[in-house]
Structure 1
Amino acid sequence: MQKEETGMNLDCEKLILKAFQGRKNAYAPYSGFKVGAAVLTQGGNIYTGCNIENASYGASNCAERTAIFKAVSEGHKTLYAIAIVGAEDKYTYPCGICRQVISEFASPHMKIILAKNEKEYIVKTLDEIFPGAFTKKNLL
């Protein structure tokens, strides 16, 4: 468990396990690629998500956005961390749309945890995976 700049404890392994729990609910009959995510809000709440495919591919939703939308719908608009799990033999990064959504709700010190399992993971910042993001600052 790490104490981060915000004063919160970040238990990467706990968040990764929650992401794996979310992945169990994935609906991926077309690609067979199941993804799970878990977001930690600045208030300490954890919300899980899975990818949900649709025969009309554009109507599909990624695990990251499912978890974020659940958090936001419950009133949590500042995210402290997100864990993402896909295939257990490689790291699964968020797609471009998910990176954009993450940037909308990211706290200044948000961590992106990419995991193969609860012991093999890397931690990135949003700037590392999404440099030059278009944000609300661009609209001012």
Structure 2
Amino acid sequence: MLRGRCACGVVTATFTGEPIATRQCWCRQCQQVAAGSATQNAIFRLADIAMTGDLATNAYVAASGNTLTHSFCGRCGTPVMAQSSARPQFRTIRLGFLEAGHGLVPSMAIWTDDAPDWAIIDPALERFARQPPLPPTT
């Protein structure tokens, strides 16, 4: 079972299922969240997440056309997750929120057309220039 917590410990989570995908996202909004780099993420089914603590959110219409809601600890600012209006049954959890030793690594890089010229993207990762196909819904 995976666990997560923010830097101050106010927001915690347990994950009872395995992620359905692991991704590195280079969209411009993720670069803003990740101080100029890509976000590193694992997508979990909402039903597999038990979260405690108060989250602050910011929502906007992303380049994909979907409304994206970023959630973070309102006390310490740790990025926790994102939710897309196109996939309400999933949550995209930031790998940095997970406890050390989780063993998850991105299997694909998405929105690579938005990556800065200096970005180094692992050539072993499957790449998508923009929005990837939706993950399975089951």
TM-score by length of 2: 0.27
- Larger relative helix fraction: 1
- Larger relative strand fraction: 2
TM-score by length of 1: 0.27
Higher relative contact order (CA 8 A, sep 6+): 2
